[in-house]
């Protein structure tokens, strides 16, 4: 499984053409206590860096951008009643959607874990 990150702090874990998408631990920490997650609809077609959903916390509301283009095939319905899962496990149980990736070449537009860690040091 490969993990990639965006400069907007989303991640995608890719396995067999499917990408699980969420926000990074860094983003969850910066947002503070998450109070609401708006998930995409199953079947929605998303474009790389287009809006996938949104997230609200005690500090701010922000859009979540799709790290890859494709079709949403599953959403994490647990977040509708327990958005705090994102704070507890942003890069695992707090995933937001599974996307059937349209073009894996788009992964070249993203950062590896190491590149993302270096990027965080510049913020």
Buried b / exposed e over 74-102, threshold 16 CB at 10 Å, is ebbeebeeebebbbeebbeebbbbbbebb
Evaluate if residue 121 carries a pLDDT over 90.
yes
Mean pLDDT calculated for residue range 83-104: 98
| pLDDT tens digits, 54-87 | 999 999 999 999 999 999 999 999 999 999 999 9
Other CB atoms within 10 A of residue 45 CB: 14
Average pLDDT, the chain: 97
pLDDT bin (cut points 50, 70, 90) of residue 1 is: confident
Q: Give dist(CA 85, CA 87) in Å, integer.
A: 5
Fold classification of 2-104 is: OB fold (Dihydrolipoamide Acetyltransferase, E2P) (2.40.50)
pTM of the model: 0.96
Evaluate if residue 49 carries a pLDDT over 90.
yes
User: Could you tell me the residue ranges of all domains in the chain?
Assistant: 2-104
């Amino acid at each position: 499984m490969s993990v990639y990150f965006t400069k907007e702090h989303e991640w995608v874990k890719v396995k067999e053409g499917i990408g699980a998408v969420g926000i990074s631990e860094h983003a969850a920490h910066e947002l503070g206590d998450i109070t609401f997650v708006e998930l995409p609809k199953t079947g929605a077609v998303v474009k790389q860096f287009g809006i996938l959903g949104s997230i609200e916390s005690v500090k701010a509301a922000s859009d979540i951008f799709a790290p890859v283009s494709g079709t949403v095939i599953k959403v994490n319905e647990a977040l509708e009643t327990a958005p705090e899962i994102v704070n507890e496990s942003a890069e695992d149980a707090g995933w937001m959607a599974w996307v059937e990736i349209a073009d894996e070449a788009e992964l070249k537009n993203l950062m590896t874990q190491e590149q993302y860690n270096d990027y965080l040091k510049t913020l």
